[in-house]
Amino acid sequence: MSADSDARQESPYHEELGQHLDKSKTAMIVVDMQNAFLSEEGSMTLGGMDITDLKKTVAPVVRLVDTCHEANVPVIFTRYVLRADYKDAGLRSERRAEFKRINSLVTGTWDVELDRRMDAQPVDYILDKTRYSSFYNTSLEVILRGLEVDTLIVCGVTTEICVESTIRDAYFRDYKIFVPEDAVAAMDAERHEGTLKTIRYGFGTVATSEAIIKALEA
């Protein structure tokens, strides 16, 4: 029997997940849990968007982050950050021109800072990006190779945009993916549910945050 076969057999099976999850080979990506998306004073609200469902992710994400810290599972926070002149924003500067006028997601502003409840630790990674996917033009892939992980828990906002883009790019790189359904959210429930249905079908395992936490604590 090959070493790979041995590793697969030894990887713990978790009844709550219905899947194997080896926390020693796992990292968590927390997508864009920043003031812009989670505060009523943030630029999404100022731009006329409803962040009600986004705010509901804070408590489960915090529990996941705390559990990962306790279980020595690496945590990687991403932030959507753009230049003040939006020269690095690409098509966003056309499709969301109103956000440029209100300094949305501009580097160095309160808007791009992580929500203080995330309690990022010095050991965590904070990765700035200018596109939806956390892999695009960032060092994420290099970090994951250095961590020698093969499994990712992906949470954060928004489900159908930055979370889904990150999951797709992770899947293309052959990472096993777990998504806590109550720790991701969109501004539209139909888009949120549609994306979770797509992830279940083609990209990874969707479970509750509690089921993932139990697996990490085991």
The string of pLDDT tens digits covering residues 148-158 is: 999 999 999 99
CA atoms of 78 and 179, how far apart (whole Å): 16
pTM (2 d.p.): 0.93
Q: Where are the beta strands (DSSP E) in the chain?
A: 13-14, 19-20, 26-31, 75-80, 125-129, 151-157, 176-180, 184-185, 205-207
Section 50-58 average pLDDT? 98
The structural domain count of the chain equals 1
Average per-residue pLDDT for the chain: 94
Task: Catalytic residue, from 23, 68, 100, 162: name it.
Answer: 162
154 occurs within a structural domain: yes
Would 66 be classed as within a structural domain? yes
Give the mean model confidence (pLDDT) for residues 132-151: 98
Note whether residue 1 is domain-resident. no
Please check whether residue 4 lies inside any domain of the structure.
no
Active site (annotated) includes residue 68: no
* Average of per-residue pLDDT across 141-147: 98
62 domain residue, yes or no:
yes
In a domain, 16, yes or no: no
User: Catalytic: which of 32, 111, 115, 124?
Assistant: 32
* Mean pLDDT within 33-46: 97
129 as an active site residue: the answer is yes
Angstrom distances, CA of residue 1 to CA of 9, 19, 43, 170? 11, 22, 55, 28
Catalytic residue among 111, 115, 124, 129: 129
Contacts of residue 143, defined as CB under 8 A and 6 or more positions apart, other chains included, come to 76, 125, 127
Q: pLDDT exceeding 90 applies to what percent of the chain?
A: 85
* Within-domain flag for 6: no
Span 57-110, pLDDT tens digits? 999 999 999 999 999 999 999 999 999 999 999 987 777 778 889 999 999 999
12 assigned to some structural domain: no
Q: What is the CATH number of the domain that holds 74?
A: 3.40.50.850
Look up the domain containing 122 and give its range: 21-217
pLDDT at 10: 62
- Establish whether 162 is a catalytic residue: yes
What pLDDT sits at residue 87? 93
